[in-house]
Amino acid sequence: MNLLADENMAALTPLFAPLGRLRALPGRDISATDMADVEALLVRSVTRVDASLLAAAPKLRFVGTATIGTDHLDLAALSERGIRWANAPGCNAEAVGEWVLQALLVLALRSGRALRDCTLGIVGVGNTGSAVLRRLKALGVRVLCCDPLRQAAGDSGPWFSLDQLLAQCDGITLHVPLVEGGANATRALLDQQRLAQLGEGAWLLNASRGEVIDNRALVAEKRRRPDLKLALDVWEQEPLPMPELVELADIATPHIAGYSLEGKIRGSLMLHCALTRGQVRTPALAELLDAPAKPAEAAPTTLDDQSLLGLLQQVFDLEREDERFRAALPGGFDARRKANLARRECSALTLRPVDDTQRTVLSALGFSLTE
Ligand SMILES: NC(=O)C1=CN([C@@H]2O[C@H](COP(=O)(O)OP(=O)(O)OC[C@H]3O[C@@H](n4cnc5c(N)ncnc54)[C@H](O)[C@@H]3O)[C@@H](O)[C@H]2O)C=CC1
Ligand SMILES: O=C(O)C(=O)[C@H](O)COP(=O)(O)O
């Protein structure tokens, strides 16, 4: 089998080289001229798999994306050609949960508020939204959830509308897919009118897709109301986000909320399983995660916002990445993404809890715990 893959996919060689002739290219460079012999194409979010790419790939039988989002794939064109495709649902949800929790703690500490006293809204409660919800519930934060699709499917709530979240929440975090049209469109879900409904001093976090917020309207609203606090991981026009929006954002990162070594390997494993349809054994995560475990350390006596932030920063330091990202612009968006490929999840840190209550909280936050 001829395989063409994005060179930045994790565990590419050990997983896919045994399946055939494997070529690897930078994801943004994959184009029609590379496709003549390709039977299996493995991509990330930066390769557009559209009708023109598919037209140049007469032998293509499988497309896999090692991501949760599928907005870079033309699914209708794939189905028209009868090409099997797979994504990696949930692969990096834990990393997104960790990014959001750390961003919330930073915003809380900067504004002199306790996270536990805030009401937070989650828009889109699938894999990543649920990873956020689990963490916030464990910390005793009041959370309002908005997911009209799950609500319509009869999933147990309570559910709230987006307008209710905008009216009632101190902070809102977005976890919806980018959907271009139809009844469930999410492009510019937060447009000028909705942004204006954010309460005084409200926090707005986006770790979904940049296009879910109208970026121009957001620049205008933040200029009009500097009290709003923005934590943005995703941007319209990546890898060239609007410079004025990066400058205005209180926390800015280069689309790395979902970046963790564990998440990247999970994504590759899911594609290996889908491509081989179980005919070849897919290894377990631990077989590929060749990373030394750190010795266990005592958890802090009190889990206040400052000590929680300290724990999360031991694994990944969001404010430092914010600084490095700003320093790398205008050209360094992809370089900063690449620099984050080896980020670990909180499970890489083993803690000794002081009691069973703390054990429950730290476990929900994703840390490994001593027996
Ligand atoms: N920044 C990053 O590194 C990452 C970004 N993402 C993005 O986040 C998106 C969400 O990821 P998951 O939670 O894993 O997807 P998911 O498919 O598990 O969940 C999405 C949820 O959004 C809900 N939803 C759809 N339209 C909605 C609307 N208009 N209002 C409220 N809820 C709505 C769906 O019903 C679903 O429950 C992905 O599609 C991807 O674009 C995902 C992973 C990493
Ligand atoms: O899974 C998704 O959807 C994402 O947004 C990924 O975190 C993006 O990862 P890469 O495409 O840059 O590997």
Lookup: tokens for 365: 């936050």
ipTM comes to 0.99
Q: Note whether 36 and 113 are same-domain residues.
A: no
Hey, whose CA ends up nearest to atom 34 of ligand 1?
Answer: 124
Q: Note whether 157 and 231 are same-domain residues.
A: yes
Q: Note whether 40 and 168 are same-domain residues.
A: no
Q: Is the CB of 92 under 6 A from ligand 2?
A: yes
Domain annotation covers residue 12: yes
Domain annotation covers residue 6: yes
Pocket of ligand 1 (CB under 6 A): 68-69, 89-90, 92-93, 96, 123-129, 146-150, 175-178, 184, 186, 189, 207-209, 233-234, 255, 257-258
Q: pLDDT at position 293, please? A: 73
Q: pLDDT at position 291, please? A: 74
Q: Note whether 141 and 248 are same-domain residues.
A: yes
Q: Note whether 134 and 164 are same-domain residues.
A: yes
| Rounded average pLDDT per 10-residue block, the chain, 371 residues | 97 98 98 98 98 98 97 98 98 98 98 98 98 98 98 98 98 98 95 98 98 98 98 98 98 98 98 96 92 86 97 97 98 97 95 97 97 84
Q: Note whether 61 and 169 are same-domain residues.
A: no
Q: Are 316 and 102 in contact (CB under 8 A)?
A: yes
Whether the model pTM is above 0.95? yes
What DSSP state is assigned to residue 213? B
What is the whole-number distance in angstroms between the Cα of residue 103 and the centre of ligand 2?
19
Q: Are 314 and 230 in contact (CB under 8 A)?
A: no
Residue-number span of the structural domain to which 272 is assigned: 2-87+261-285
Q: Note whether 110 and 67 are same-domain residues.
A: no
Q: pLDDT at position 278, please? A: 85
Number of structural domains the chain divides into: 2
Q: pLDDT at position 206, please? A: 99
Q: Note whether 233 and 161 are same-domain residues.
A: yes
Q: pLDDT at position 80, please? A: 97
Q: pLDDT at position 322, please? A: 98
Q: Note whether 247 and 101 are same-domain residues.
A: yes
Q: Note whether 110 and 237 are same-domain residues.
A: yes
Hey, whose CA ends up nearest to atom 14 of ligand 1?
Answer: 127
Q: Note whether 244 and 99 are same-domain residues.
A: yes
Q: How far is CA 135 from CA 56, 172, 176, 271, in A?
A: 45, 15, 18, 28
Of ligand 1's listed atoms, the one at least distance from the Cα of 256 is 3
CATH (domain of 139): 3.40.50.720
Domain annotation covers residue 22: yes
Q: Which residues of 188-203 are buried (b: 16+ CB within 10 A; e: fewer)?
A: bbbeeebbeebbeebb
Q: Note whether 83 and 101 are same-domain residues.
A: no
Domain annotation covers residue 291: no
